[in-house]
Structure formats: structure tokens, C-alpha cells
Amino acid sequence: MFRSVRSVGSSPLGSLSSQQALDLANLYLRNATQTTSDLGIFLVLCHDTKASLSQAKKAARTTRDQALSDGIATAYISLSQLLTSQGYTNEAQAIDKKAEKLW
């Protein structure tokens, strides 16, 4: 028996809490780390990580939750390190600046 579902599909990031957006970013980041051999998927996952972190940061501005800000900064640094390891140093440097603003 199937349950009724309102809508199945990707939901807009704006409907997520800052913690949910951070959790999603970390999920994308873990998958990007495991998918470095497929450049197309790797870059999409990195882009989605960055978009989710941006949403988390935007939502976190109103909460002033230092633990959340630290988690977002840590994820930005991890993304930067991953991009650097794959030769995307310019992109990594831009992401480092985002992390620095959170600390």
C-alpha cells in the first residue's frame, strides 16, 4: 500500500533550516570526496555543496549560533581542501575567504 505524498522531487534550499542546509552540504561534500574520478559529478557535487553552505550561512545570520557558524566554516574549509587536491586552486581560495568571514 502506498502512502499519499504531496510532492516528490527536490525541494528548494530556502525551505531548509540552517542546520538542514549544513547537513545537506556535508552530504554533498562526502559524496564529492568519493567521486573524484568522475569530473562531471565531482563538480556538480562541489557546486551543490557551495550552494547549500551559502543557504546555511544566510539562515544562520539570524540565529547567531556559534556552533552552527563553526560547522559551516569547517565545511567550507573541507570543500576548499578538496578542490585544491583536484587542482581547482582559484575556486578554493574564494571559498577560503567565505570561511574566514565566519571566524
* Grid coordinates given for 66: 556559534
Q: Select the more confidently predicted residue: 57 or 11.
A: 57
**What is Dmax (Cα atoms) for the chain?**
51
Q: What is the DSSP letter of 38?
A: S
Is the predicted pLDDT of residue 7 greater than 50, yes or no? Answer: no
Those residues with Cβ within 8 angstroms of residue 103's Cβ, 6 or more apart along the chain or in another chain: 69, 70, 73
Say what the pLDDT of residue 84 is. Answer: 96
Is pTM beyond 0.75? Reply is yes
Look at residue 98 in the predicted model and tell me its pLDDT.
87
User: 23-40: per-residue pLDDT in tens?
Assistant: 999 999 999 999 989 999
**pLDDT value at residue 15:** 81
Examine residue 40 and state whether it is found in any structural domain, yes or no: yes
Q: Is residue 42 part of a domain?
A: yes
On whether residue 90 sits in a domain, the answer given is yes
Range(s) of the domain holding residue 90:
17-102
Q: What is the pLDDT of residues 15-26, one digit of tens each?
A: 888 999 999 999
Overall domain count for the chain: 1
Asked whether residue 1 is assigned to any structural domain, the reply reads no
Ramachandran region, residue 9 (left: φ > 0; alpha: ψ -120 to 50; beta: rest):
left
Question: Does residue 11 form part of some domain?
Answer: no
